[in-house]
Amino acid sequence: DRMVADTAPRLFAIAQQYGTTFDGEIIAWGLKFRGRRPRCEIVSPHYPLRMSLEKPETALHLLSLNPDFTPHLIWHTPHRR
């Protein structure tokens, strides 16, 4: 159990904000691994998208092609049961 907790990847989402409103959606989920290359794996629940990147912030640049949308990196800590 301790080994799993010590080596578990961090979970993050990339949310896309529409214009200046608070509307948006999660466009991708990612896992950030420690001490491993590539260090991040990113998948989309809506599109045929999968990326292996060095860092999550790179995905923000790659997913910000449309000027009407602003991508945001959001770290998530799941609740333990």
Cα–Cα separations (whole angstroms), residue 17 to 9, 10, 24, 36:
25, 22, 4, 31
Pairing verdict, β 69-76 and 10-18: antiparallel
pTM of the model: 0.82
In a domain, 35, yes or no: yes
What is the full per-residue pLDDT of the chain (81 aa) written as tens digits? 888 888 889 999 999 988 777 778 899 999 999 876 779 999 999 889 899 999 999 988 888 777 888 889 999 987 765
Q: Which residue carries 């466009």 as its tokens?
A: 27
In a domain, 37, yes or no: yes
In a domain, 81, yes or no: no
**Residue 57 domain boundaries:** 2-76
In a domain, 45, yes or no: yes
Please tell me the predicted confidence (pLDDT) of residue 36. Answer: 61
